[in-house]
């Protein structure tokens, strides 16, 4: 059952998720203003972690955000954006609107 209320856009870029201060690449599959769906690549076991800082760069737009894991199935995860700079978040929302309209 789909629980996401906001429109999502296909992003398909790589982002850095930070674990113990070290960046690990994740592939963004799609995003909405409040969350991300990612595919993890090579990273340490994160079963005991709930929150992660993440850095996303798309078309010159950068957003740093704190995310919380919503679910994990294999190497795919849904992350809710729980905190982000308001200006970066506004730029990210604009980018998502543009991607959704295309």
Each residue's pLDDT, cut to its tens digit, for the chain (102 residues) gives 445 566 788 888 999 999 999 999 999 999 999 999 999 999 998 888 899 999 999 888 889 999 999 999 999 999 999 999 999 899 889 988 888 776
In a domain, 55, yes or no: yes
CA distance 61 to 51: 22
In a domain, 2, yes or no: no
pLDDT computed for residue 13 by the predictor: 92
In a domain, 15, yes or no: yes
In a domain, 65, yes or no: yes
In a domain, 29, yes or no: yes
In a domain, 3, yes or no: no
In a domain, 47, yes or no: yes
pLDDT computed for residue 54 by the predictor: 97
What are the tokens at 9? 């856009």
Nearest to 80 by CA among 27, 25, 38: 38
The number of distinct structural domains making up the chain is: 1
What are the tokens at 42? 């090579």
User: Tell me, what CATH number does 17's domain have?
Assistant: 2.40.10.220
Provide the sign of the torsion angle of the four alpha carbons 23, 98, 79, 29, taken in this order.
negative
What's the domain range around 57?
9-101
CA distance 80 to 60: 22
In a domain, 71, yes or no: yes
């Amino acid at each position: 059952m789909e629980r996401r209320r906001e429109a999502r856009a296909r992003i398909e870029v790589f982002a850095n998720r930070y674990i113990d201060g070290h960046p690990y690449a994740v592939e963004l599959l799609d995003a909405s203003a409040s969350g991300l769906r990612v595919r993890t690549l090579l990273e340490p076991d994160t079963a005991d972690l709930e929150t992660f800082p993440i850095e996303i760069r798309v078309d010159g737009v950068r957003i740093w955000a704190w995310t919380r894991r919503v679910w994990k199935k294999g190497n795919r995860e849904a992350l809710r954006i729980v905190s982000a700079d308001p200006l970066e978040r506004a730029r990210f929302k604009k980018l998502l609107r543009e991607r959704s309209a295309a």
